[in-house]
Structure 1
Amino acid sequence: MIVDRMPLLERYLFGMTAKAFFGVLAALTGVIWTTQALRELDLVTSQGQTLWIFLVVTGLSLPSLAVILAPVALFGASLWALNRLNGDSEIVTMSAAGVGPWRLLRPLLALSLLVALLVGLMSVWAIPESLRMLRTQITQVRADVVANILREGQFTQIESGLVVHVRERRGGALLGIFVQDSRDPPQEIAYLAERGQIVEEGGSTFLVLENGSVQRREEAGKDPAIVVFQRYAFDLSPFTGAAEVTSYKPRERYTSELIRPDVSEAAYRSQPGRFRAELHERLVNPLYPVTFILIAFAAIGRPRTTRQNRATGVLAAIAAVAAVRIGGLGATNLLVSTPYAVIAVYGLPIAAGLAALWLIFRGPSTATATAAPSALLPAARA
């Protein structure tokens, strides 16, 4: 609806920048997501989960990526669009026809406001929701340890230093069980049992071993101590998540919980600054798309001839955006320890945007006078 109300010129600039934005955002997200997905391949290769679980777990990180990448993608798209218009002398022609910088800036601002709305929605609602879903999914994966150790003839690593092997499954019984526990070096413990079964009791899960032995080695190089047993219960509850009490991190909290935190909660009392920093980070994120658009336009949005060097403006814009974003992250980290850093959290993007606006509207560009040949003027006005 916003696009339909725009004049043809503004619609052209809006459409070109929007297409570039979605292309850059898809490319950046794909690259970052691939690197994260490669680290989660353990879900499929060693923990026996399905490809669907793998895609769900890795896909739930996309909202967090989008909040960081969307302003950067918008900045890159706007630089590309403005540089292309300048390279083809389109901005020069528009300026010679009486098109002021405000008309060129309006479609870019409209796009930045839409992206800001998207970033705000992701920050305030989608990220905590996705992180909670991710925690639930990981808990279910860990709770699926029973399915993991029931795989016949395979050595399954439940966690680092704990390996389980089952020779055969017969009904509800497990035959030929081997468990190696080296989580507390230099101590190593090996459990061997003829048979066993999974038992759930009182909210806890146990691997009950029958007719076996425990070999315990306290130090490397010494002979192990061997104890024979008829029945032994190995506690699996720490790996199923059954005994865990859910305590959400500040990033996993709903925004309403950050605005009105429970001051009696132990998690809040131990780190109130992290709750404060997380809240203001969510609220300030929508400012960056608008700020980045203004910086890009201030750098290369004014008319330039093909003889004028645009590389300097592009590099200056990249440096300014990097400084603002890094400064914002630093201010957010500082907000954990001091509440006065909130001034810098909001002040950096706002001040950068106002400075860019001043550069845009400070006066006519000297390039305009020599920009367009007079032969282009009638066509431009037409």
Structure 2
Amino acid sequence: MSRFDGYFLRQLLILFGFFTLVLVGVFWITRSVSLFDRVISGGQSAMVFLEFTALTLPTLIRTVMPMAVFAAAVYATNRLSRESELTVMLATGSSPWRLARAVFLFGLVTGLMMAAISVFLRPASVEQLEQRQAEVASDVTAQLLNEGEFLHPASGVTVYIGRIDLDGTLYEVFVSDRRDRASTVTYSSKTAYLVNNGSGIHLVMVDGVALRLDQQGRTLSSTLFEDASYDISELAHGNDMSQRSLEAIPTFELLENRQALTANEGFSEGELVDELHQRFSWIAICVAVAMAGYATLMLGSFSRFGLWPQIFGAFTILVLLEGVRGFVSPIVIDDPALWAVLYLPAVIGILISCLFLLIAGRPLLRKKPRESDLAWPQA
């Protein structure tokens, strides 16, 4: 690797880190608002929100990484051209193909990063996230600890708590259980406590009244009580997540156990093949967008104002590749034998890059001077 290649590669990697940080920050802020509201409103702590955020980062980074690679390649090439560094290298005999070595190596480095995220880290993080979501969803205690709100921890059950003291005492408690339509029960008490006795979680109410409505006899009976226990642990039974999503399945299982996954978890062969090759196609797309961004800008000549027409053309190519990626996935789901089309966007990007570099490397055709231009001026 020459000194210029090393210099170009460092510029690309620095800009890649910058654009990745910016894009991840923008997307994270957009998604974290709804996630924060959902987690906190469910009675969970800020630590649970931070945990969920950390588990979603691999998916978020995989989404923005191709855009960051493309932006780094375009910005670095445009800056080197604007500052005449590429012009000097071309003038000393280096061809666009020769200067593309650093960009291709940059694509390989980011592709290795993408491989670690797409093949290993993202499936593991999605699996852990789904497990934690199931645990949080089954945490009835956290769901009930919300002041001044009518909560519905299960279908047919409504709970209201007016105030919660720091010591855990609940005030102005209201519970309506309508799961048995023939006999609905409503509890109301001044104070209550959540007690975990090992066998389950119970809501112990003190100084209240229980109203039971018998739909068949059309009678309403009331019972005053000094203390009553209401079992709420069974409210969590309907929230268990028994099936993994496609994104949570480890890559090794997709490679070796597709028949077992189809039989046991209900996924089709096309869905499994699509998910497997999607993970690897993200690696190839990093190389393709890096080369496409560089090659498109090499079509332009030196300009102090930058290569804005070429930048717009490179962005158009990026949109085209993303459109093709969305088009080929349903084809593979319908026919798993056509898995190779998932790599079509990367192949198209590399072919376009080779074509543009071929055009950029050809010498300019000079027009032959006319005889009138060669004639000496008459006195």
Q: TM-score range by the shorter chain?
A: 0.7 to 0.9
Deviation by residue 1:47-104 (Cα, 9 ceiling, x = unmatched): 3332222111122111111112111111011111111122222211110111222332
Alignment map for 1:39-78 (pairs within 5 Å): 39-43=34-38, 45-78=40-73
**Aligned mate of 2:259, from 239, 263, 279:** 263
Q: State whether structure 2 residue 294 is matched by structure 1 residue 294.
A: no
Pair member with larger Rg: 2
Structure-2 separation of matches of 1:368 and 1:293: 29
Structure-2 separation of matches of 1:115 and 1:237: 49
Q: Which residue of 2 aligns with 1:178?
A: 174
Structure-1 separation of matches of 2:66 and 2:255: 25
Q: Give 5+ residue unaligned stretches, structure 2.
A: 367-379
Q: State whether structure 2 residue 308 is matched by structure 1 residue 311.
A: yes
Q: State whether structure 2 residue 107 is matched by structure 1 residue 116.
A: no
Structure-1 separation of matches of 2:347 and 2:185: 60
**Contact kept in structure 2, 1:209 and 1:234, CA below 8 Å:** no
Structure-1 separation of matches of 2:204 and 2:258: 42
**Contact kept in structure 2, 1:47 and 1:157, CA below 8 Å:** no
- Residues 1:270 and 1:115: Cα distance change in structure 2 (over 3 Å): closer
Structure-1 separation of matches of 2:356 and 2:171: 77
Alignment map for 1:181-220 (pairs within 5 Å): 191-193=187-189, 195=192, 197-198=194-195, 205=201, 207=203, 212-214=209-211
**Contact kept in structure 2, 1:328 and 1:344, CA below 8 Å:** no
Q: State whether structure 2 residue 268 is matched by structure 1 residue 274.
A: no
Alignment map for 1:91-110 (pairs within 5 Å): 91-110=86-105
**Contact kept in structure 2, 1:109 and 1:290, CA below 8 Å:** yes
TM-score norm. by structure 1 comes to: 0.78
Structure-2 separation of matches of 1:198 and 1:271: 45
Structure-1 separation of matches of 2:48 and 2:150: 18
Deviation by residue 1:5-34 (Cα, 9 ceiling, x = unmatched): x32211221111211111111111101000
Structure-1 separation of matches of 2:365 and 2:73: 21
Deviation by residue 1:111-144 (Cα, 9 ceiling, x = unmatched): 1111101111111111111112212222333343
Q: Which residue of 1 aligns with 2:133?
A: 138
Structure-2 separation of matches of 1:96 and 1:368: 16
- Residues 1:262 and 1:101: Cα distance change in structure 2 (over 3 Å): closer
**Contact kept in structure 2, 1:47 and 1:156, CA below 8 Å:** no
Select between 312-321 and 295-304 the one with higher mean Cα deviation.
295-304
Deviation by residue 1:301-320 (Cα, 9 ceiling, x = unmatched): 25612289832222221111
Structure-2 separation of matches of 1:302 and 1:142: 55
Q: Which residue of 2 aligns with 1:372?
A: none
- Residues 1:55 and 1:199: Cα distance change in structure 2 (over 3 Å): closer
- Residues 1:225 and 1:64: Cα distance change in structure 2 (over 3 Å): farther
Q: Which residue of 1 aligns with 2:354?
A: 357
**Aligned mate of 2:327, from 325, 330, 343:** 330
- Residues 1:227 and 1:252: Cα distance change in structure 2 (over 3 Å): farther
Q: Secondary structure at the match of 2:266?
A: helix
User: RMSD of the alignment, in Å?
Assistant: 3.7
Structure-2 separation of matches of 1:286 and 1:182: 53
Q: State whether structure 2 residue 222 is matched by structure 1 residue 228.
A: yes
Aligned residues with identical type, % of pairs: 22
**How many equivalent pairs are there?**
354
Alignment map for 1:17-56 (pairs within 5 Å): 17-43=12-38, 45-56=40-51
Structure-1 separation of matches of 2:54 and 2:203: 33
Select between 170-179 and 338-347 the one with higher mean Cα deviation.
170-179
Q: Give 5+ residue unaligned stretches, structure 1.
A: 1-5, 219-223, 370-382
Q: Secondary structure at the match of 2:222?
A: strand
Structure-2 separation of matches of 1:205 and 1:180: 17
**Aligned mate of 2:250, from 250, 254, 257:** 254
Q: Secondary structure at the match of 1:49?
A: coil
Select between 92-101 and 48-57 the one with higher mean Cα deviation.
48-57
**Contact kept in structure 2, 1:199 and 1:208, CA below 8 Å:** no
**Contact kept in structure 2, 1:331 and 1:341, CA below 8 Å:** no
Deviation by residue 1:172-205 (Cα, 9 ceiling, x = unmatched): 986642135799xxxx985424656546777x65
**Aligned mate of 2:83, from 73, 83, 88:** 88
Structure-2 separation of matches of 1:272 and 1:217: 52
- Residues 1:262 and 1:275: Cα distance change in structure 2 (over 3 Å): closer
How far 1:234 sits from its partner (Å)? 5.1
Q: Which residue of 2 aligns with 1:14?
A: 9
- Residues 1:314 and 1:205: Cα distance change in structure 2 (over 3 Å): same
